[in-house]
Amino acid sequence: MSQLSHINCKIIKKNTPLYQIDPMSIIAPSLLAANFLKLGEACAMLNESEAEYFHLDVMDGSFVPNISFGLPVIEQIRKATSKVCDVHLMIVQPEKYIAAFKKAGADILTVHYEACPNLLDTLAQIKAQGMKAGVAINPDTDVSVLAPFIKEIDLVCVMSVYPGFGGQKFIEPTYEKVKALKQIITNAHATTLIEIDGGVDLNNAATLVKAGADVLVAGTTVFKAADPIAMIASLKQA
């Protein structure tokens, strides 16, 4: 099975509302909350779990006030996991690094709307490299800015915390944002997936899915759980 089959499966679901193939959400544990001394164990746990994506947060200390990890780490993760590598770039000038992240093993490459003056160009470059193209939006950016581009976007990552750090509190108005985004996608007959990133837990997962979320990113909730595999299964059922 190709790494992108989970993405495609979800898209089939969206186009066949009467015959849902996969009624559950896609779970994307975020590596940021893992123990960096034990990345091999994190990958083994993920491989064994029901998670479909591995969410990999790249921060440059410029677009966000924090620095995380980059290409060499993703290269190793790629070798250790069969899951979709969902790379979230919180960096300025992401267009400079598209080919490098493809080479490192990204399946989905998400850039920030706020960091891309030529968004359509950047999305086209990502797709030309054979990756799915994602666009992330900060909590203060209105979803309506994406309407003109929605058909070109494979995944919208709605930030439900200010980007830069794991373990923050979920921003409640995200629910309304997700509903508005879902409307934009439906109106355009687009197949764009909605991903929620930040503060996702068992208290908000079901409401997010009901609002239209397809993919739930969870760092702290998964990696700080007593049983991460069971937590992934619970999030998936939400």
Quickly list H helices, 5-109. Answer: 5-15, 39-48, 71-80, 98-104
Rounded least distance, CB 199 to ligand DX5, Å: 5
74 interface partner picked from ligand DX5, Zn ion, none, CB below 5 to 8 A per type = none
Rounded least distance, CB 90 to Zn ion, Å: 7
Q: Between residues 94 and 198, which has the closer beta carbon with respect to ligand DX5?
A: 198
State yes or no: residue 57 binds Zn ion (CB under 5 A).
Answer: yes
- Listed as own residue / partner, the contacts of 117-126 with beta carbons closer than 8 Å and 24 or more positions apart are 119/149, 120/149, 120/152, 121/95, 122/94, 122/95, 122/98, 123/149, 123/152, 123/153, 124/152, 125/95, 125/98, 126/98
- Establish whether 86 is a catalytic residue: no
The two tokens of residue 160 are 């439900």
Contact mark string toward Zn ion, 62..101, x via CB under 5 A: --------------------------x-------------
Map the footprint of Zn ion across residues 177-206, applying CB under 5 A.
197
In whole angstroms, what is the distance from residue 42 CA to residue 36 CA? Answer: 9
130 interface partner picked from Zn ion, ligand DX5, none, CB below 5 to 8 A per type = none
Q: How many Cα atoms sit within 13 Å of 198 on the Cβ side?
A: 22
What are the Cα distances from residue 216, in Å, to 52, 62, 73, 95, 118?
10, 26, 22, 25, 27
Q: Between residues 192 and 204, which has the closer beta carbon with respect to ligand DX5?
A: 204
105 interface partner picked from ligand DX5, Zn ion, none, CB below 5 to 8 A per type = none
Which residue, 122, 120, 121, is CA-closest to 91? 122
Q: Between residues 146 and 218, which has the closer beta carbon with respect to ligand DX5?
A: 218
Q: Looking at 10, 83, 88, 132, which residue binds ligand DX5 (CB under 6 A)? A: 88
Q: Between residues 61 and 148, which has the closer beta carbon with respect to ligand DX5?
A: 61
Q: Is 24 exposed, middle or buried (0-12, 13-18, 19+ CB in 10 A)?
A: middle
The two tokens of residue 40 are 């091999």
Helix (H) / strand (E) element for 182: namely helix 174-187
Number of residues this chain uses to bind ligand DX5 (CB under 6 A): 22
By residue count, the chain amounts to 238
Contact mark string toward ligand DX5, 109..128, x via CB under 6 A: --------------------
- Establish whether 57 is a catalytic residue: yes
Check 60, 86, 107, 197 and give the catalytic one. 197
State yes or no: residue 158 binds ligand DX5 (CB under 6 A).
Answer: no
Q: Would you name the residues annotated as active-site residues? A: 57, 197
Residues of this chain that interact with ligand DX5 (CB under 6 A) are 30, 32-33, 55, 57, 88, 161, 163-168, 197-200, 217-221
